[in-house]
Amino acid sequence: MSPVPSQPALRPVVDYNRCDGKGVCTQVCPWSVFEIQMLSAAQRGPLSLSGKLRSLLHSGRQAAVARPADCHACGACVRECPEEAIRLV
């Protein structure tokens, strides 16, 4: 009998062109996967013009996936993010 292939782990990804840094994800995640942090220059680089303006409005502070390995793929952050900025991949 062949072994059952394991399911690849799902991890949250934040669309920084949409994130407003409101921190709802930090409140709803039961495993404290997110932190509100300053975006790095590497994270800011690929933003669209509107994403850069949005980031400036929030002093560059947006939701970071600080502990991706702790994600249990419950989907709460995806459902509750007011900007629909999070997806599981």
Q: Which residues bind ligand SF4 (CB under 6 A)?
A: 12, 28-29, 31, 33, 71-77, 88
DSSP letter assigned to residue 81 = -
What's the rounded Cα separation, in Å, for the pair 75 and 29? 9
Instruction: Supply the minimum distance, in Å, between the C-beta of residue 29 and ligand SF4.
Output: 3
Closest separation in Å from C-beta 61 to ligand SF4: 18
Q: In terms of CB distance, is 12 or 51 closer to ligand SF4?
A: 12
If the CB atoms of residues 52 and 68 are measured against ligand SF4, the closer one turns out to be 68
Phi-psi domain of 75 (left: phi exceeds 0; alpha: psi -120 through 50; beta: other): left
User: Within a 10 A sphere around the Cβ of 41, how many other Cβ atoms?
Assistant: 8
Shortest reach from residue 20's CB to ligand SF4, in Å: 17
- CB-wise, 30 or 45, nearer to ligand SF4? 30
Structure tokens at 57: 């409005």
